[in-house]
């Protein structure tokens, strides 16, 4: 601190001393030089004045060859103590007279020169022509000793040195005193600045010493400190905020990374799922190209992924299916609707066709279609085979039934003839036995008729018209009540909606269900039948409910089977074909049928004719 402090003090002192010293030195030097020059000029002038007088006085001596007189004239120089030698030369340059007389002649210059004055080794040498009336008679030589003068200049120099020394001393003392006014505030400032940099404490303030520029500097410094202090606080609070924000962001980022990892994992899983699915998974774009296909497409249809994506997919479709494919594709584009169980044929690479069943969903934003297909060629083939077999079976059963009717009718006729013609000859036991044969043959005829009806259904083409349900049901109800001779039964009929259906077969459905309800509730004292509808999954579901015998639900799987019965013929009459026919008609309409029942409480049959409904 002390060292650092003295440096500026020393600098100030040095500046003042150097400045005053330089000024003094310059002043003294110029004064001294001026003195020297003027003194020399004066000396030359004085010497030339003397020389002129002496030369003037010497003319006669030279003119009339009077050495005595010349010596006398020169001897008058004794008064001028500084003149140490004088010589008079005649016109030919010979030394004519000299002063002082005892100086040897060889001390004088051999030949005088033209008028000139020059300094030589602390002497001034002067040559002055001696003229009389414009005519030159000779030359005067004077040698003046300058030592006195130089002594004077030594004195001068001494005084100058003394003055400089004293002035410097005075300047030093003055500066030492005066520089405190400048150095003290600066030192105080420096000390404050050092205290701040050492301790980092910005609350320190520098002391002010006056209202001059340094005072202003101190004020500015203090003001700056205040600003720094404020800014420091701001920076600290900002840093804290920033740190907090960084921590928050880090946490956020970490959770994002975790999420990202998870979603990456998920994506990998999805990819795995996509790539290893046994179904045909693909993404198609609006332009009608497959964009992405899973490897199974190649496995099933034989084309590589590259082949799939370079042509519009419609070119792979069977020509007969193209129209429906384009229709479905456009419908999906315009309505953004899901497509379910859409079946079409795709050409395999080895040029046979595969049946594919498609489920797809469009992306409403991009218009891309995400589709999953399944090769159902095998199922389709089985179905076709089954259909052929069924047809064969139907025609077989039809022909069998048809062929059986003739012999049965003949048995029935002949038994009736036997009974009527020979009744008197038979005892009661024989009559009872014949009646059993007649009943069984009639029953067999009924069976064959039902079987024929059932077989016919498979061949029948449906003729759909709008059916008035209520009037149809009411007519059938009256017919069945009359046929069964029932009196203790009550009907609750809702206002059924009309629907498009094949009237002939639909009549059969209602007839069978109503006759069933009447039949199985016949044992009840107070039988009720309720016919109504519910709306389920957008379709109308009709129901027929009775409060009759009911059945055990564990035999439900046998309910719609041909020749399957849940009750004995003794309890309830029947062939076991009726419900099979009902189911077949409903299926043929594209509907669903199911039943709910409880033993001794009753049964409810539900059916729809305009859409498959899940039964529950």
Site residues for another protein per CB under 8 A: 57, 59-61, 63-66, 69, 132-135
Q: How far is the CB of 160 from another protein (least distance, A)?
A: 48
- Distances in Å between the Cα of 406 and the Cα atoms of 223, 232, 435 are 130, 118, 20
Tell me the angle at which helices 2-63 and 180-199 cross, rounded to the nearest 10 degrees.
150
Cα 140–chain centre separation = 114
Rounded to the nearest 5°, which phi and psi values hold at 387? Answer: -60, -45
Residue 132 CB, nearest approach to another protein (Å): 5
Q: Which is nearer to another protein, 140 or 293 (CB)?
A: 140
Least separation in angstroms between residue 61's CB and another protein is 7
Please provide residue 42's backbone torsions phi and psi, each rounded to the nearest 5 degrees: -60, -45
Structure tokens at 164: 């400089």
Question: Taking the complex as a whole, how short is the minimal distance between the CB of residue 112 and another protein, in angstroms?
Answer: 20
Listed in sequence order, the residues at least 6 apart from 1 whose beta carbon sits closer than 8 Å to its beta carbon are 191, 194
Q: Are the CB atoms for 531 and 497 separated by under 8 Å? A: no
Q: Which of 132/397 has CB closer to another protein? A: 132
Residue 60 CB, shortest distance to another protein, in Å, is: 3
Q: Which is nearer to another protein, 59 or 167 (CB)?
A: 59
Distances in Å between the Cα of 514 and the Cα atoms of 45, 85, 459, 569, 571 are 173, 183, 25, 19, 18
Q: Under a CB-based contact definition with an 8 Å cutoff, are residues 578 and 562 in contact?
A: no
66 or 470: whose CB is closer to another protein? 66
Nearer to another protein, 56 or 522 (CB): 56
Pick between residue 69 and residue 191 the one whose CB is nearest to another protein. 69
Residue 140: exposed, middle, or buried by beta-carbon count in 10 A (0-12, 13-18, 19+)? buried
The nearer residue to another protein, 60 or 445, going by C-beta atoms, is 60
User: What is the closest distance, in whole angstroms, from the C-beta atom of residue 67 to another protein in the complex?
Assistant: 8
Element (H, E) at 608: strand 602-608
* Closest listed residue to residue 84, CA positions, set 34, 113, 111, 120: 120
Q: How far is the CB of 130 from another protein (least distance, A)?
A: 11
| Complex with another protein: residue 136 or 523, whichever CB lies closer | 136
Please tell me the distance from the alpha carbon of residue 170 to that of residue 164, in angstroms, as a whole number.
10
User: What's the min distance (Å) between Cβ of 99 and another protein?
Assistant: 17
């Amino acid at each position: 601190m002390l060292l650092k402090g003295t440096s500026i003090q020393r600098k100030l002192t040095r500046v003042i001393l150097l400045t005053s010293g330089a000024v003094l030195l310059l002043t003294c030097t110029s004064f001294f030089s001026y003195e020297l020059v003027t003194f020399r000029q004066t000396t030359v002038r004085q010497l030339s004045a003397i020389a002129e007088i002496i030369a003037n006085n010497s003319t006669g001596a030279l003119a009339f060859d009077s050495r005595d007189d010349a010596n006398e004239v020169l001897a008058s120089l004794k008064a001028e103590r500084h003149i140490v030698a004088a010589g008079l030369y005649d016109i030919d340059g010979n030394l004519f007279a000299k002063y002082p007389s005892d100086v040897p002649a060889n001390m004088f210059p051999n030949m005088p020169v033209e008028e000139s004055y020059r300094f030589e080794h602390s002497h001034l040498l002067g040559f002055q022509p001696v003229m009389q009336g414009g005519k030159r008679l000779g030359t005067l030589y004077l040698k003046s000793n300058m030592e006195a003068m130089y002594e004077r200049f030594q004195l001068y120099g001494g005084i100058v040195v003394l003055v400089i020394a004293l002035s410097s001393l005075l300047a030093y003392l003055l500066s030492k005193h005066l520089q405190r006014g400048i150095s003290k505030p600066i030192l105080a400032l420096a000390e404050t600045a050092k205290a701040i940099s050492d301790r980092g404490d910005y609350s320190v303030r520098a002391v002010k010493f006056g209202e001059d520029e340094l005072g202003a500097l101190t004020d500015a410094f203090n003001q700056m400190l205040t600003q720094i202090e404020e800014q420091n606080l701001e920076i600290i609070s900002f840093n804290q905020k920033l740190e907090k924000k960084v921590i928050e962001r880090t946490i956020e980022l970490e959770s994002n990374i975790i999420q990202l990892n998870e979603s990456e994992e998920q994506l990998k899983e999805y990819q795995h799922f996509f790539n290893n699915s046994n179904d045909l998974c693909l993404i198609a774009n609006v332009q009608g190209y497959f964009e992405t296909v899973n490897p199974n497409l190649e496995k099933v249809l034989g084309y590589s992924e590259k082949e799939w994506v370079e042509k519009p997919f419609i070119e792979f479709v069977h020509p007969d299916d193209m129209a429906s494919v384009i229709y479905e594709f456009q419908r999906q584009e315009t309505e953004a609707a899901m497509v379910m169980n859409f079946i079409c044929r795709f050409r395999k690479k080895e040029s046979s066709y595969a049946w594919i069943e498609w489920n797809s969903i469009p992306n409403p934003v991009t218009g891309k279609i995400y589709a999953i297909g399944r090769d159902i060629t095998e199922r389709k083939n089985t179905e076709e085979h089954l259909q052929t077999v069924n047809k064969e079976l139907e025609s077989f059963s039809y022909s069998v039934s048809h062929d059986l009717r003739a012999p049965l009718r003949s048995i029935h006729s002949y038994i009736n003839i036997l009974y009527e013609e020979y009744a008197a000859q038979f005892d009661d036991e024989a009559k009872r036995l014949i009646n059993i044969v007649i009943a069984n043959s009639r029953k067999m005829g009924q069976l064959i008729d039902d079987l024929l009806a059932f077989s016919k259904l498979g061949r029948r083409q449906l003729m759909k018209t709008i059916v008035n349900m209520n009037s149809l049901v009411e007519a059938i109800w009256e017919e069945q009540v009359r046929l069964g001779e029932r009196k203790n039964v009550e009907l609750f009929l809702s206002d059924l909606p009309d629907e498009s259906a094949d009237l002939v077969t639909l009549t059969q459905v209602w007839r069978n269900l109503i006759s069933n309800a009447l039949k199985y509730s016949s044992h009840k004292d107070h039988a009720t039948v309720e016919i109504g509808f519910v709306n389920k999954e957008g379709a109308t579901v009709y129901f027929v409910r009775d409060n009759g015998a009911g059945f055990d639900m564990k035999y439900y799987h046998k309910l719609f089977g041909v020749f399957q019965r849940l009750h004995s013929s003794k309890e309830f009459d029947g062939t076991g074909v009726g419900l099979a026919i009902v189911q077949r008609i409903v299926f043929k309409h594209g509907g669903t049928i199911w039943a709910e029942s409880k033993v001794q409480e009753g049964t409810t049959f539900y059916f729809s004719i305009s859409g498959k409904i899940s039964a529950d």
